[in-house]
């Protein structure tokens, strides 16, 4: 019995030691993979916090098991294509309070399906590629950006899952329609279909052109008729002004003889 107790005690000690060793390796592994200037911690998954780290671009050595990623309050200006493609477990992405101006077409490729929250507020985004948010399931925050409201933005917002809520928070800094500047995008989109404006403009231009040509043709016809009338009047007056032709004596004698 004493041997059994001793064996159990040693086994338990070995298990605890092994568990501590594995945990230490995991912690060391996570710490060694944490990007420079960032803090990594485990709480329901790997949390990577790079807030206020003076980053000028998104780190390319982010741990693949990252679940929460905070890149807010930095100096990031763009989101390149497929920068998050290896982060298949990413659920929260915070890129607020940066200087982001450009978002490439495939910026969120690889995380569009898993991402639950995307924060792009307080940046310098004016427009994005119409496919930039394709298949994005996340609740997106894109307020406080100098948006240019046009057909592309309308298509982008319609492709997003939280379309109504997202569009309601977008204020048009500029717009293809001047009277929509400074107004919420949702109001502007309700007033006019921004994707039909180019077609309408083309139709109006064609109509104006056709009307111009028609006016020119009518003007020419009227001018031509009036000019001909004036020429005919002058010719008639000229004929009237000619002296009447008098008969010669020989012609009168011939007529008498015939009679």
Each residue's pLDDT tens digit, 200-240:
555 566 677 777 777 887 877 777 777 777 777 776 776 66
Q: What is the pLDDT of residue 66?
A: 97
Predicted confidence (pLDDT) at residue 194 exceeds the cutoff of 60:
yes
Residue showing tokens 């309408």? 200
Q: Which two tokens stand for residue 52?
A: 């206020």
Q: How far apart are CA 3 and CA 16, in angstroms?
A: 20
What is the phi/psi pair of residue 160, to 5°?
A: -90, 150
Q: Which two tokens stand for residue 152?
A: 């592309």
Q: Which two tokens stand for residue 162?
A: 């939280």
Query: Of residues 28 and 148, which shows the higher confidence score?
Result: 148
Task: Give the pLDDT mean for 163-191.
Answer: 79
Query: Of residues 94 and 4, which shows the higher confidence score?
Result: 94
2-41 burial, b for 16+ CB within 10 Å, e for fewer?
Answer: eeeeeeeeeeeeeeeeeeeeeeeeeeeebeebbbeebebe
User: In 3D, which of 37, 163, 141, 42 has the Cα closest to residue 97?
Assistant: 141
Distances (CA, A) of 38 to 50, 71, 127, 201: 4, 9, 29, 51
Query: Of residues 110 and 44, which shows the higher confidence score?
Result: 110
Lowest mean pLDDT among 60-74, 150-164, 217-231: 217-231
157 neighbors 145 (Cβ within 8 angstroms): no
Q: What is the pLDDT of residue 99?
A: 97
Task: Give the pLDDT mean for 142-147.
Answer: 95
Within 143-239, strands assigned E span 147-149, 172-175
Q: What is the pLDDT of residue 199?
A: 54
What share of the chain in percent tops pLDDT 90? 44
Predicted confidence (pLDDT) at residue 26 exceeds the cutoff of 50:
no
Q: How far apart are CA 94 and CA 82, in angstroms?
A: 17
User: In 3D, which of 56, 59, 126 has the Cα closest to residue 93?
Assistant: 59
Q: How far apart are CA 131 and CA 116, in angstroms?
A: 18
Q: Which two tokens stand for residue 257?
A: 């003889």
Say which residues have a Cβ less than 8 Å from residue 141's Cβ, sequence separation at least 6: 96, 117, 118, 119, 120, 121, 166, 169
Sign of the Cα pseudo-torsion (88, 91, 95, 100, in order): positive
Q: Which two tokens stand for residue 176?
A: 């293809």
Mean pLDDT of the chain: 79
The full length of the chain comes to 259
């Amino acid at each position: 019995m004493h041997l059994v107790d001793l064996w159990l005690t040693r086994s338990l000690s070995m298990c605890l030691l092994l568990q501590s060793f594995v945990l230490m390796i995991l912690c060391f592994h996570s710490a060694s993979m944490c990007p420079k200037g960032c803090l990594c911690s485990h709480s329901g998954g790997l949390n990577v916090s790079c807030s206020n780290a003076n980053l000028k671009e998104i780190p390319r050595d982010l741990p693949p098991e990252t679940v929460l990623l905070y890149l807010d309050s930095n100096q990031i200006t763009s989101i390149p294509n497929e920068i998050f493609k290896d982060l298949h477990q990413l659920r929260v992405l915070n890129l607020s309070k940066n200087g982001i101006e450009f978002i490439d077409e495939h910026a969120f490729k690889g995380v569009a399906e898993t991402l639950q929250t995307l924060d792009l507020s307080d940046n310098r985004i004016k427009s994005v590629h119409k496919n930039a948010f394709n298949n994005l399931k996340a609740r997106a925050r894109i307020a406080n950006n100098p948006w240019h409201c046009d057909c592309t933005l309308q298509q982008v917002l319609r492709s997003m899952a939280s379309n109504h809520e997202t569009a309601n928070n977008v204020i048009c800094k500029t717009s293809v329609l001047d009277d929509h500047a400074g107004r919420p995008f949702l109001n502007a989109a309700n007033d006019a279909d921004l994707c039909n404006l180019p077609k309408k403009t083309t139709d109006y231009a064609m109509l104006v052109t056709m009307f111009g040509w028609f006016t020119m043709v009518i003007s020419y016809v009227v001018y031509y008729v009036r000019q001909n009338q004036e020429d005919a009047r002058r010719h008639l007056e000229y004929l009237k002004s000619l002296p009447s032709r008098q008969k010669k004596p020989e012609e009168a004698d011939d007529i008498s003889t015939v009679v």
